[in-house]
Structure 1
Amino acid sequence: MTLSRTARRLLTAVPLAALVLGTVAAPAQARNHETGALSIRGADLSFLPQLEEAGVTFRDVNGKAKPAERILEKHGADYMRIRVWVDPPAGYTDETRALALAKRAKKAGMKILLDPHYSDFWADPSKQPIPAGWPTALPALKDTVRAYTRSLVQDFANQHTPVDMIQVGNEITGGMLWPTGQLYPPGGGDHWAAFTDLLKAGVTGAKEGNPRHHEMKVMIHIDRGGDLGGTQWFFDHVTAAKVPFDVIGQSYYPIWHGSLAQLQANLDDSVARYHKPVVVVETAYPWTYADGDGKGNIVGPGTVLPDGDQYPATELGQAGFFEALRRVLLQVPDGMGLGFFDWEPEWVPGVGWQPGAEASNDNMTQFDFTGHALPSVYAYRKPDAS
């Protein structure tokens, strides 16, 4: 089911009203029983400047044109996640572009989660390449990580957009800065000591660059949202190595990371086991199986969604998924489920994941292919929002 724009506009008068039409699992009713608040309701908007440069205009559910961060902030978003690469292709998010986006975040009243990949381009569980201009020997690489992180955090502070939270690396389940910090390199053996030394160097540099009297949290981010065993394996090693950090960050994409019930079990266990709060720092869900740019998507008609019987790939199904995610986080014991970040909700057709490539998630955004906000933007609200 796809909502007409008229139907979407009705949601501005009665937020989430359409969600009780029976097409999804009654998230609006659950909303009335929320007893806590998610302190983090954020989005990674790193592609936003490129999309605007490509001519994309974003519109709220009422049809009014606004910058995407202003639309999300209006609906309750309080954090922007910004990735930064060391020397990416022209136009992609290097430090200069990240700093400019940080100014927009702060002007909109949003806090900043900084996501340095410690790479010239994409770093994820399948690849974590050392920047081309960096050393590869461990002692020099540790020094470089520390100095780079310190300088990065200082530069954000110097323009009056201090970093509120920083993750040291991006989805570092298999290590970072390969091959030096790769946990199990092809040649054999393990590099846990090298990897955790690099993590500590990043944490130290971040703290050195953070202004005195400004609170900044440190996150460690992996991609094991519904994988309890994998999460324990990773964080057991990290905590045994005494890596200092404040927050556990998880990527949770149902197509890879399991059901909402598995996510709940894993987050609950992490809080009990490590005594750290948890954040779903990357998530997204399809609102259609159509392909906006005709170049291919990660999620398509043959994709199995673990909870797809309750939350189909429709606009209302996507909204229902985010309502269910809110419930999962609110049910984490002791208020330790801090919140979520949608990953690139604005990544509509117009910019590829690399130059000339497709927008591979354009059916998992919170804006339709023309930049019009979808009902799932109401997931950013505070519990007592009207």
Structure 2
Amino acid sequence: MERILTALLLAAALVVVAQPAQAGARLQIRGADISSLAKSEAFGGVYRDARGRQGDAVRILSQAGLNFIRLKVWVNPADGYNTKTQVLAIAKRAKAQGVKLLVDFHYSDTWADPGKQFKPAAWEALPFDQLKQALYDHTYDVLDALRRQGTTADMVQVGNEINGGLLWPDGSNSTWANTAALLNAGYDAVKAVSASTKVVLHLANGGDNGLYRWWFDNANANGIRYDVIGLSYYAYWHGTLEAFQANINDVATRYGKPVVVVETAYPFTTADDDGWENIILSPEPYPGYQATPQGQAAMLAKVADIVRQVPNGLGLGLFTWEATWTGVKGNGWDPADPSSGNGWENQALFDYADRALPAMRVLGHG
């Protein structure tokens, strides 16, 4: 009996010892892009926790375990959203919940991604030196306003999915010296506001190792300054999970920088909620992961696990995109067209009854 009691006590002790290790294994960043939230709320969008209780979306995310939000910034969008005004308001709500902030500068009046990096209209005719100054001033202005209201950004993206550079044609990486000058102007603006804020350089196509080696080899050769490598990885577009894992491991160790998946997502249904065709329609967009609440949760858990396994602890975490972009009439994809709809609501973290999906808790405890 004494041996049995001793064994039981030892097993209990091991369980107690194991708990901090499990807690320590949680990712540093368990995040969600909620850039759509301000406009959604303005057009009547509501959010509910998993039990159906209506509340503040930021608080619901925080209570599920998420600890970071991502907010994009456009310069002068047609609808007046995704500007400094909304960033300041949502940041205040996030910080009040103990949630950190990643600010994503698109340096455009609309979406910037690998296929388009259009200058803001107000910057269109500027000579290069003035364009560089405009980028610096815009970056500083938004971040300094955040700092002055007591909600300093924790991380900042200088550009969004800048595979081909930014502010085309001037900042295209067909001329790396120009790309470097613009990105370093952004870096300097970030650090002038807060030396501790981390600067992220963000590419799409997270499974394409050739792209990442080419891009960051050139970045290093041209003296581009940054702290963190950001990736977009959508399993139905950007290659296999194995290719993504190989790439993220390689870039972290090759460049000695922390890595973070600033965009990933997966559908929880094939159904439509707003009369605008969804971008992803397949019942199984990636083999083995169905477009169901369970499939969405499993995919986010898998991406989180890959990031957790990055060598040397360099995997910081991930952000799901776009957690609060539900099917709210008026909150469509085109800021210049109020009649446009949302092709992404089947990949949000809230279902069509506005309830938090299982993926939210999975991500929050990743």
Instruction: Output the TM-score relative to the length of structure 2.
Output: 0.89
Equivalent residue, structure 2, for 1:26: none
Q: Decide whether the 8 Å contact of 1:137 with 1:180 is kept in 2.
A: no
Structure 1 residue 176 and structure 2 residue 195: aligned?
A: no
Q: Counterparts of 2:107 and 2:58 in 1: how far apart (Å)?
A: 25
Alpha-carbon deviations, 1:235-281, whole Å to 9, x = none?
11111112111100001111211121111101100111100010000
Equivalent residue, structure 2, for 1:332: 310
1:379 to partner: Cα distance = 2.2
Q: Counterparts of 2:365 and 2:274 in 1: how far apart (Å)?
A: 34
Moved more, 147-156 or 281-290: 147-156
Match of 1:372 among 350, 355, 363: 355
Equivalent residue, structure 2, for 1:138: 128
Matching residue's letter, 1:288 = T
Q: Counterparts of 2:158 and 2:197 in 1: how far apart (Å)?
A: 13
SS at match of 1:83: strand
Q: Decide whether the 8 Å contact of 1:118 with 1:131 is kept in 2.
A: yes
Equivalent residue, structure 1, for 2:295: 317
SS at match of 2:69: strand
SS at match of 1:254: coil
Indicate how the Cα distance of structure 1 residues 149 and 91 shifts in structure 2: closer, same or farther if over 3 A, else same: closer
Equivalent residue, structure 2, for 1:193: 177
Equivalent residue, structure 1, for 2:103: 114
1:130 to partner: Cα distance = 1.0
Q: How does 1:1-386 map to 2 (within 5 A)?
A: 36-134=25-123, 135-183=125-173, 190-210=174-194, 215-301=196-282, 305-306=285-286, 308-309=287-288, 311-350=289-328, 351-354=331-334, 355-382=338-365
Instruction: Output the TM-score relative to the length of structure 1.
Output: 0.85
SS at match of 2:189: helix
Q: Counterparts of 1:98 and 1:138 in 2: how far apart (Å)?
A: 28
Alpha-carbon deviations, 1:192-213, whole Å to 9, x = none?
1111111011111111122xxx
Q: Counterparts of 2:132 and 2:37 in 1: how far apart (Å)?
A: 32
Q: Counterparts of 2:241 and 2:22 in 1: how far apart (Å)?
A: 19
Moved more, 89-98 or 60-69: 89-98
Q: Counterparts of 1:82 and 1:364 in 2: how far apart (Å)?
A: 17
Count residues in correspondence.
340
Moved more, 70-79 or 90-99: 90-99
Indicate how the Cα distance of structure 1 residues 370 and 291 shifts in structure 2: closer, same or farther if over 3 A, else same: same
SS at match of 1:257: coil
Matching residue's letter, 2:333 = W
Q: If you compute each CA radius of gyration, which structure gives the higher value, 1 or 2?
A: 2
Gapped regions of structure 1 (runs ≥ 5): 1-31, 184-189
Q: Decide whether the 8 Å contact of 1:153 with 1:162 is kept in 2.
A: yes
1:148 to partner: Cα distance = 1.8
Superposed CA RMSD: 1.6
Q: Counterparts of 1:136 and 1:143 in 2: how far apart (Å)?
A: 10
Equivalent residue, structure 2, for 1:24: none
Q: Decide whether the 8 Å contact of 1:154 with 1:209 is kept in 2.
A: yes
SS at match of 2:145: helix
Equivalent residue, structure 1, for 2:4: none
Matching residue's letter, 2:302 = A
Percent identity of paired positions between Structure 1 and Structure 2 = 44
Q: Decide whether the 8 Å contact of 2:67 with 2:364 is kept in 1.
A: no
Matching residue's letter, 2:237 = W
Q: Counterparts of 2:231 and 2:352 in 1: how far apart (Å)?
A: 27
1:136 to partner: Cα distance = 3.4
SS at match of 1:255: coil
Q: Decide whether the 8 Å contact of 1:293 with 1:358 is kept in 2.
A: yes
Equivalent residue, structure 2, for 1:186: none
Q: Counterparts of 1:91 and 1:51 in 2: how far apart (Å)?
A: 13
Gapped regions of structure 2 (runs ≥ 5): 1-20
Q: Decide whether the 8 Å contact of 1:348 with 1:370 is kept in 2.
A: no
Alpha-carbon deviations, 1:93-120, whole Å to 9, x = none?
1111111111111112111101111111
**Which one has the bigger helix percentage?**
2
Q: Decide whether the 8 Å contact of 2:300 with 2:363 is kept in 1.
A: no
1:293 to partner: Cα distance = 1.0
Q: Decide whether the 8 Å contact of 2:108 with 2:117 is kept in 1.
A: yes
SS at match of 1:360: coil
Q: Counterparts of 1:136 and 1:258 in 2: how far apart (Å)?
A: 39
